[in-house]
Structures are given as C-alpha cells and as structure tokens.
C-alpha cells in the first residue's frame, strides 16, 4: 500500500535557500517539526529530492538495498572536480576497484603501525600548547585542526613537511570545500559563480594544491626509501586484475581524499570532545580516573585502547552528538519502495544522519552527553547510530579516526585538567563535516 508523504513547496524551499546555506540544521529541524522525518523538498529550490531522518529508511538506502543507489553524481562530480576523484567521490566499478585496492591498508593490524607516528605528533603538540597555556585559554577548534592535520601529514608521509606547505595545503582544502558546499546548496548561482570568475579562481587553487602534493609524492619516489606510512601503502598497492600500481593521477587523487576525509573529520570531532567534556566535568573526571588506573602515567599504545572502555564510550558519544557524516545523498538507479513510500528512478534521497542521532524516539535524553549509553550491555538502537555512514560505502578511515581520537584524548587528559571557558554556547557550522562556529576556549592546567 503506497503512502503519501508531505512535500515542501518549491517556492518555500527557494525562499529558504539562503538561510539553508547559513544554518541548515535549523531549517531541517523546523521542517521535521512541520512535516515529519520524511518529506519531499527542492534542493536550492531547483532539484526535487526525498529527505529522511528515519533510521530504518536510511539503512534501506545505504545498506540493505545499496545496489540500487549511487552517490549523487552532480554533487560528487563538483567535489571530485576540486579535491580529486578518489574513494570519497567516485562510484560504480571504479569505486569498487579502488576500494578493494586500498581497503587492506586500513585494516586494524596495519593501523597499529601508525600508533607511534600519531603519538609523536600528539606529544609535540601538547608540549607547544603547554607553553602557551600560561597566557590564558586556548582555542581548541584551531589547535585540534592543527593537530589532526599534523597527524594525517605524518600518517601519509611520515617525514617532516615545511610549515609553509602545510599551511598552504590546509588553507586550500578548506577554501575548496566551502566553495563546493556553496555550489551544492545554491545551484541557481552556478551561472554567476562562473561568470564572475570565482569558479575559475577555485580551479586554479585546486591546480596549485595538486602541484604541492605531487611534489611531495615525487620526492618520496625519487628518494627510493620505503617507509611505514599510508603513502607507502598506496605506492605498493597493486590491482588484482593486472598487477599494476595506480597511475600518478589516481595516486594524487587518493592522497587528496585522505587529506579531506582524514583531517577535518577528526579535528572537528576532537574539538567537540573538549566542548562536551568541558560542559560535563564529571565525565572528564571519570575519564581521567580510568586513564590513571590503566596507564599509570605512561603514554598509551595500540594495545591499551581495548582496556579503556570509558574512553571508547566518550568517543562514541561525541560522534553521536556531532557525526562526521551528518548528511549524505544517493541517486535511485531504479524504482524502489520503502514502507509504502514510492521512490522513482532518478530520485535524489537525502539521508539525515544527524537527525537519526538526535531523535528522542531512538535515544533516551537525546540532547544530553551520556557516554555510558554505549557501555557494554547497554540497550541502544544500532540502526540509529552511523557516524561514518553505513553499508559498503562506510568511511574506509573510520578505525583510523577513532584511534586518533582515543590516543589524542588519552594524552591530553593524562596531562591536563581541561576547563571550558566559553561564556555562550558554541554554534555548529555544517559544511562537509560539522565544524564548530567559532573558538572553543579551554583552560589547560597541568595535572
């Protein structure tokens, strides 16, 4: 039996498009209150799409019937055009071939080898921040961005990269992402962005980014040295069908995607962790007690992480509150149906993961930070928890990101008492990931 779902008029969506660009979470929250968790809307007032925050519907699209859905070609064509056609931005047979090639490099046993690289970057960052802490509270939004970028640089290249190049790479990636978000949310402005030269300006910026990263890749190849890092894994990888390595262009694209997916995601999640633990100091005390009992002052290693269950619960709850993959979309390749809702071939389906993570019908006290909800034996709806997506397209770097968060928080809360100093709540800036809207000020006091 078919079921009619509400539809937001095209004109209303168009009128709300500027507000949606600035504050999509508020607009979506308002829509859900008015229309329920599944409705039709027009992206930018132009593209008809089906929206859902229903975990079962999301699971149907991303996992159970995933073969009928591919990433929205328009959106990911734009993202790929500026930041590379790698695992995040490709689909079909090309994606499957790349996934099979790269997947072994992100197995937990391989990630263990990166622990010492991560620990080194974290310890160096803590030493720098400790010197600055006497001058007053520190902006954890910025510092965690620097930390995560340092970790991904070391994990990819495992050698020192000049600070100027690091800053250029980081700045260009941020600016390119923001431009792509504007292209996606305001499609009616494409003509203006091209006519005004902004599109070309960002294409030149992307070309400059390519030159910097290619230079680092070629330097490694010319050195003849083999290292235990992600770049070496990509260089050594061979396709099953012909035994050949990736082309230089594909290698470049995959490295750029590693920067995009492995840098900002972890940085934002870590910043939110300090914010949430600062708002809930009793949880921070519980975390410190566990770290003191298990580690007794020594630095954490890979084998320690399973012995720190509360740390894992904290990370899981941070990712529930501020999921990296907060929304994604898919294109229906054929007609489909879910619980009476007809999905026509060619339809765009937007899956609102943030909504599933905050729905009171799926999470008790959904608006509160409660790490213990993820304790062993606790009863929670796994279908409503998908911080890295779901199904075959789940983020390949999810274990990398979780390990990075666990190691970073373990180091910081071993060394410091962290006191939140923001006088006003910190807003959310939803781009590709959920970025804090402004500084998260934290006072660090040596334990």
Q: Would you state the pLDDT for residue 405? A: 97
Q: Would you state the pLDDT for residue 45? A: 67
User: How many Å apart are CA 39 and CA 21, to the nearest integer?
Assistant: 19
Q: Would you state the pLDDT for residue 1? A: 64
Question: For the chain (length 447 residues), average pLDDT per consecutive 10?
Answer: 83 80 88 94 80 96 95 79 89 91 83 89 95 95 94 87 84 88 81 93 95 92 87 92 93 91 89 98 98 94 95 98 92 95 93 96 95 93 93 90 96 96 93 90 95
């Amino acid at each position: 039996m078919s079921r009619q779902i509400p539809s937001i008029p095209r004109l209303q969506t168009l009128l709300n498009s500027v507000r949606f660009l600035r504050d999509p979470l508020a607009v979506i929250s308002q829509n859900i209150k008015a229309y329920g968790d599944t409705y039709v809307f027009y992206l930018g007032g132009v593209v008809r799409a089906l929206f859902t925050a229903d975990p079962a519907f999301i699971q149907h699209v991303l996992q159970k019937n995933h073969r009928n859905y591919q990433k929205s070609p328009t959106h990911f064509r734009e993202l790929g055009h500026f930041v590379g056609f790698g695992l995040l931005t490709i689909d079909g047979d090309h994606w499957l071939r790349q996934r099979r090639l790269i997947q072994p490099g992100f197995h937990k046993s391989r990630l263990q080898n990166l622990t010492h690289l991560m620990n080194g970057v974290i310890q160096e960052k803590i030493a720098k921040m400790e010197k600055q802490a006497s001058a007053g509270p520190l902006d954890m939004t910025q510092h965690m961005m620097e930390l995560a970028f340092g970790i991904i640089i070391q994990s990819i290249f495992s050698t020192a990269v000049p600070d100027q190049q690091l800053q250029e790479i980081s700045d260009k990636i941020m600016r390119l992402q923001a431009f792509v978000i504007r292209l996606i949310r305001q499609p009616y402005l494409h003509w203006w962005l091209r006519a005004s030269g902004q599109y070309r300006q960002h294409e030149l910026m992307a070309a400059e980014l390519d030159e910097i990263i290619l230079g680092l890749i070629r330097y490694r190849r010319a050195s003849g040295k083999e290292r235990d890092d992600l770049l070496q894994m990509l260089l050594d990888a061979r396709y099953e069908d012909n035994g050949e390595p990736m082309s230089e262009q594909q290698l470049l694209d995959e490295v750029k995607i590693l920067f995009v997916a492995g840098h900002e995601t972890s940085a934002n999640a870590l910043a939110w962790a300090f914010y949430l633990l600062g708002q809930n100091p009793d949880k921070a005390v519980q975390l410190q007690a566990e770290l003191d009992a298990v580690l007794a002052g020594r630095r954490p290693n890979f084998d320690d992480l399973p012995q720190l269950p509360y740390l894992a619960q904290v990370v899981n709850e941070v990712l529930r509150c501020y999921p990296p993959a907060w929304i994604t979309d898919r294109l229906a390749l054929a007609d489909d149906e879910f619980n009476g809702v007809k999905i026509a071939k060619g339809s765009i389906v937007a899956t609102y993961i943030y909504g599933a993570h905050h729905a009171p019908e799926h999470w008790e006290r959904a608006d509160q930070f409660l790490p213990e909800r993820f304790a062993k034996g606790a009863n929670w709806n796994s279908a409503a928890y998908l911080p890295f997506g779901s199904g075959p397209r789940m983020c390949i770097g999810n274990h990398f990101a979780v390990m990075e968060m666990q190691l970073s928080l373990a180091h910081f809360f071993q060394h410091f008492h962290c006191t939140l100093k923001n006088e006003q709540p910190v807003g959310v800036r939803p781009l590709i990931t959920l970025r804090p809207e402004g500084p998260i000020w934290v006072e660090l006091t040596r334990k």
